[in-house]
Amino acid sequence: MKLLVIEDNRDIEEIMDFILKDDGHEVVSCPDGSSLDLLDTIKPDVILMDDKLAEVRGSALCLQLKNNDATKGIPVILTSAMPDLPNTAIKCNADAYLEKPFNIDSLIEIIKRFAK
């Protein structure tokens, strides 16, 4: 499965990248939402996106994706250490959420939900 990881914390991005590649996935990482302009090229099966990015909220980007007919079918997993993540995920129509800190099993399990 091809995953797009949008995470501005380099340490967390490297951990996710390692875990997901070790689990057999192809991973494209980006520190901000600019990669969303390249979705036609990247063609991710799932987007794993931090809600608290430096320039913009991941939940705002998720809502844009879900309101666009061309991208609404791409599953988005919102990640954050913010306390109200479940409600934030619902409001932006995210397909799932992953609270930080997360363990390896939780990350792998949530990705498996979207395996084709």
pLDDT digits (tens, 9 = 90+) for 39-53: 999 999 999 999 999
Compute the mean pLDDT over every residue in the chain, rounded to the nearest whole number. 95
User: pLDDT band for position 103 (50/70/90)?
Assistant: very high
Residues 41 and 51: their CA atoms lie apart, in Å, by 23
Predicted TM-score (pTM) of this structure: 0.96
- Yes or no: say if 6 and 47 are a contact pair by the CB < 8 Å rule: yes
H or E element, residue 18: helix 10-22
Architecture of domain 2-112: 3-Layer(aba) Sandwich (3.40)
Give me the pLDDT at residue 115, please.
84
Residues 68 and 45: their CA atoms lie apart, in Å, by 16
Residues 112 and 87: their CA atoms lie apart, in Å, by 22
